[in-house]
Amino acid sequence: MMRRASTTGLDVEPRVTETRAAEVDPFLTLGVETSCDETSVAVLRGETEILSNVVYSQVDLHARYGGVVPEVASRNHVVKLPYIVDEALARAGARTADISLVAATKGPGLVGPLLVGLCHAKGMAYALRVPFIGVNHLEGHLFAHRLQNPDLEPPFLGLVVSGGHTLLVDVARYGDYHVVGTTVDDAAGEAIDKIGKMIGIGYPAGAKMDELAMSGDPKAIPLPRPMEGAPSFDFSFSGLKTAVLYHLRKNPREKREDIAASVLASVVSVLTKKSLEATRRFHRRRLVVVGGVAANAHLRAELVAEGGRCGIEVHFPAISLCTDNAAMIAAAGAFRHRELGEVDALSVSPDPSLSL
């Protein structure tokens, strides 16, 4: 069952798991995600059953600036977060007294927004006298796969691709990560947003670029595939952005549809070839793609097709679990507490540059 309350700006898309009364896990985790411009709170039963996943997007607030303004985002989190906590609990049919664990993103992200979410979550944990876990946002994205496919356990190769991050991670087991490639400059989603701004697409540009590309010619503009043939698994998308800028100076009347299609053809080609080669090189049979850019229809189609040709399973979470959300944070926190026995001190600080 899926519910969406678009009139309030709050999205709720729980994945309902049917269980008999005797099998219901009483352990509830309240997750908080405020690493950037989404204010999100979720309630998770056990380690994979989403009871509620409420996301309030600040996109309209920041669109006028062409990108996220950290101070504006922080102040909006302060205002919205208490109401979203109440909304998440109500939709989960839970009370604060039912919460067993509180988990919140501690990094990476924008320091102001991270601080707001952490302080609120730690205050709740203290008041409720329950454990607290600070979650790595990148690990949270990997746990979106576990929420979508709880029976498909590691090992696998993970591609985390979003507006702020592009990295390849070898996942031997949950909690055991080896980063094998990362971006040396712009992340894929960041480059798409900046190119979108060049052609007059409002922030964020990802979904609109995806839509425009459907009616464009991907071969119209001969754009580079940065580092596609490099021996390492690192990425670079700054050169693609520069190539588009120079092309537009010479061809100011170029069709936006063709620009979008050509840009995505380059980004998708690089991501596909590097991630599948890394999966093969590390002897994994499964590639898991997570993060905001994982919602891109062109990337999904290309990776599934190419993965099928070389015998690699490719998995994506539901669209609602690709973008920043608190369910993935709650899932990572519940795992670390229940499976690894971890508890964080309430003195934990935000870490904007936290690595996986």
- 200-213 per-position pLDDT tens digit: 988 888 899 999 99
* Each residue's pLDDT tens digit, 64-82: 777 778 788 899 899 999 9
* Each residue's pLDDT tens digit, 187-242: 999 999 999 999 998 888 889 999 999 999 999 999 999 999 899 999 999 999 99
The model's confidence at residue 107, banded by pLDDT at 50, 70 and 90, is very high
* Each residue's pLDDT tens digit, 258-308: 999 999 999 999 999 999 999 999 999 999 999 999 999 999 999 999 999
Pairwise CA distance, residues 43 & 45, whole Å:
7
Q: Decide if 70 contacts 112 (C-beta within 8 A).
A: yes
Query: For residue 236, what are its two tokens?
Result: 């670079």
CA distances from 353 to 114, 122, 329, 356 (A): 11, 20, 17, 10
The 10 Å Cβ neighbour count of residue 356 is: 19
* Percent of the chain scoring above 90 in pLDDT: 85
The CA angle 198-242-196, to the nearest 5 degrees, is: 25
DSSP annotation string for 97-165: GG--EEEEEEESS-HHHHHHHHHHHHHHHHHHT--EEEEEHHHHHHHHHHHH-TT-PSPEEEEEESSS-
Torsion sign, CA atoms 209, 213, 215, 220: positive
Torsion sign, CA atoms 240, 245, 247, 253: positive
Give the CA diameter of the chain.
Answer: 68
Q: Decide if 19 contacts 45 (C-beta within 8 A).
A: no
Backbone phi, then psi, for 54, in 5-degree steps?
-95, 125
User: What integer is the mean pLDDT of 133-159?
Assistant: 97
**Residue 50, beta-bridge partner list:** 44
**How high does pLDDT run on average in the chain?**
91
Confidence check: pLDDT of 14 > 80 = no
CB neighbour class for 22 (10 Å; exposed up to 12, middle 13-18, buried from 19): exposed
User: What integer is the mean pLDDT of 21-26?
Assistant: 69
Integer Rg of the chain from CA: 20
CB neighbour class for 98 (10 Å; exposed up to 12, middle 13-18, buried from 19): middle
Is 0.75 surpassed by the pTM of this model? yes
Amino acid at 13: E
Residues in the chain, total = 356
Q: Walk me through the domains of the chain, giving residue ranges and CATH numbers.
A: 3-143+322-338 (3.30.420.40), 155-317 (3.30.420.40)
Could you tell me which of 147, 181, 177 has the C-alpha nearest to residue 165?
181
Q: How would you label 63-84 residue by residue, b for 16+ Cβ within 10 Å and e otherwise?
A: eeeeebbeebbbebbbebbeeb
